[in-house]
Chain A
């Protein structure tokens, strides 16, 4: 563990892991997309439109999952001052914000044919919107800080503040939504999905997760190269792998 924390070893580890992740990703994605678009039968209530689930749910899942991962890294950063944790956070933010945006966008594209409107002030949609603001707030704060180390520490604190707030916001919005008695909108008409519908969904969630790890590792490698540009291992790496 200690050895992996050195940027040099981390770089080598990430580089070795990368092709395997890519391979897993392609396999999961192929199964998920074909299984979701072709093999899965149409939903008896929503028809073919339910197939949006295979990109919508993984995006929403990852948007929250990445924020949670960032919060853990932020705690590690603030408590143990681990450099690698901030590199991982910096790599995660754009990906997490992208997935949050995609969850909202695909949600709107699903809502239009199903509910007849692009946007509903549904509890989950509203929480997702707040999550997008938290991601964008992090980026804005990070850019505004005068020094990189200060930006990283302030950002980590902001993520921790955010992660305490996300459940409270979600609870309050759910409470507000049930109070105002909107039309009952349940996307999952059936309590349990048929296995030929569920398996591709699980595969897509896994595929999105693997994609996140793969891309974050690439971004992290970039950060390692830039931070240690004067060290010999970077110079060897650059010369040997032209």
Chain B
């Protein structure tokens, strides 16, 4: 009998390997992020002052939408080929397995978004002083997107128009992260300390890590019937 730690590592490794083979799954959200952000100057005008003021909001909404887009993939192939059922039946805790999948997903979609964000921030004339706060805020916020996304993604996996439903259900839940995330960057731009919102974001992350794996496991069980 293998230990749960080994099973956990195996799921993590397998998901990372799968994602590396289907590289477009990680590249597409990045491309989407870049495109959404570059549409904004075309729509609101290229005035550097205006763009800099809007940059935190644009970048956060862009990252949110890109994460949303990738969430649908999280459980889909495992649901279709029956691996998800095997994971639910195995003696290893389903919450742990799900957590491994979320970590793999975040490393291959969330982390690249965080790395791309400073480049896009420069294009939007965000002051250099705020860029480090932006990265830190995204580093704390995007895992929350992944964790909460996994919960709802498990509920809607395999449904007709599941992607649309997923966005509808998730966006209201993403409101607090969006508020604290963009506020942190705005405060840094204004020369204020961004400590408060960053700590609140960290709090949300801790809360999400504690609660969402159980909810996600319950959602998987419900969908498997």
Contacts and interface: CB of A to CB of B under 8 A. Distances in A.
Q: Do A and B bind each other?
A: yes
B161 A157 contact: no
B175 A169 contact: yes
Contact of B165 (A144, A169, A172, A176): A144
A175 interface: yes
Nearest to A145: B159
Contacts of A164: 211
A179 B156 CA distance: 36
A131 to B, nearest CB: 9
B194 to A, nearest CB: 12
Contacts of B219: 154, 157
Interface size class of B (residues with CB under 8 A): 20 to 34
Contacts of A147: 225
B172 A144 contact: no
A144 B171 CA distance: 18
Contacts of A238: none
B172 A157 contact: no
Contacts, number: 73
Interface in B47-97: none
B204 A134 contact: no
Nearest to A171: B176
A171 B160 CA distance: 34
Most chain A beta-carbon neighbours within 10 Å: one of B162, B173, B225: B173
A144 B160 contact: yes
Nearest to A138: B169
B222 A137 contact: no
Contact of A169 (B162, B176, B223): B176
Interface string B145-165: 000000110011001111001
Nearest to B171: A133
A153 interface: yes
A157 B215 contact: yes
B144 to A, nearest CB: 11
B172 A137 contact: yes
A153 B171 CA distance: 21
A168 B204 contact: yes
Interface of A: 78, 130, 133-134, 136-137, 140-141, 144-147, 150, 153-154, 157-158, 160-162, 164-165, 168-169, 171-173, 175-176, 179
Given A130-B175, A173-B179, 5 more contacts: A144-B156, A150-B225, A161-B152, A168-B204, A175-B180
